[in-house]
Amino acid sequence: MLEEPRGITTDPPDDRFVVSKRRGDEWFPEFLAQERVATRIVDGCPLVLPRLLQTADYARAVLTTKDDLDACVRARLGRQSVITGADGPTPYTAYLYWTVFERPVVPAAAMAAQARHVVALAARDNITIRVLTRDSGYTPLLDGAFTYLEFRAATPVTQFEHLTFGLASWHSRVIGGIRDTLEAADRAALDAAASADFITLVAEKWDRQA
């Protein structure tokens, strides 16, 4: 069981990554537990929208290979309460390449609804959405998606979540690399207001195609 890593604060003597890897869906309760106690969550996504921002239609599309699809969609939407709940929602930031809004994961009308859903979430005080446009060029975020979590009294964790496995690392070099990636994304991304305007324009584009 991957618990909040309270006791790990330094690199291990043999320089190996400190990781926990779970295949299938075994990672889900562990990652969920970490989300619930995090004091800050940051997603970096170059290809698809992060799980905490997805609508039901979008989630259903990206989880379509799951045997228990309805249950998986409900679980994914339920996870979003950590950033949308009324009782002290967790501060959340997402750095998203523009392509996540232009890739037709769902039909045009559903893509428009998904884009507007993100804009509505970005209006919340605890949520910041930053878009990297075509002009942003390369940042290390293009190398793959991740979730970075900070805790009140524990080492930060980086989660890598895929359909077939989940992996978490709190090795200092991994965390340092993720922080460098976030700093590069922060420099390259539109500010929050310009990002909301960009996403709204994308929603209008999808409306015209619906």
Q: How many CB atoms lie within 10 A of CB 101?
A: 21
* Phi and psi at residue 6, to the nearest 5°: -65, -35
Asked whether the beta carbons of 170 and 18 are under 8 A apart, the reply is: yes
The label of the residue with tokens 């970075």 reads 148
In this prediction, residue 166 carries a pLDDT of 78
3: CB partners within 8 A, 6+ apart: 30, 33
Task: Select the more confidently predicted residue: 13 or 27.
Answer: 27
Residue 132 is predicted with a pLDDT of: 98
Beta bridge partners, 167, equal 21, 160
**Burial class of 206 by CB neighbour count within 10 A (0 to 12, 13 to 18, 19+):** buried
Match domain 19-209 to its CATH number in 3.30.870, 2.40.50, 3.30.1380, 3.40.1350.
3.30.870
Q: SS3 for 9?
A: coil
Strands lying side by side in the sheet with 157-161: 19-23, 165-169, 157-161, 146-150, 40-45, 92-97, 127-132
- Please report the pLDDT score of residue 127 as a whole number: 98
Sequence spans of domains, the chain = 19-209
Give per-residue pLDDT as tens, 31-90. Answer: 888 899 999 999 999 999 999 999 999 999 999 988 889 998 998 999 999 999 988 899
Cβ contact 176:108 at 8 Å: no
Q: Are 196 and 122 in contact (CB under 8 A)?
A: yes
pTM: 0.88
Residue 23: its pLDDT value, please?
Answer: 55
Spatial contact of 198 and 100, defined as CB atoms under 8 Å apart: no
**Tell me: the pLDDT tens digits for 114-148?**
999 999 999 999 999 999 999 999 999 999 999 99
What span, in angstroms and rounded, lies between the C-alpha atoms of 86 and 84? 7
Beta strands 127-132; 92-97: pairing state: parallel
Lowest average pLDDT, out of 16-25, 112-121, 181-190, goes to: 16-25
> Beta partners for 128?
93
Helix (H) or strand (E) segment spanning residue 83? helix 81-84
Exposed (0-12), middle (13-18) or buried (19+): which is 187, by Cβ within 10 Å? exposed
Q: Does the pLDDT of residue 4 top 50, yes or no?
A: no
* pLDDT tier at 170, thresholds 50, 70, 90: confident
pLDDT digits (tens, 9 = 90+) for 93-121: 999 999 999 999 999 999 999 999 999 99
pLDDT surpasses 70 at 16: no
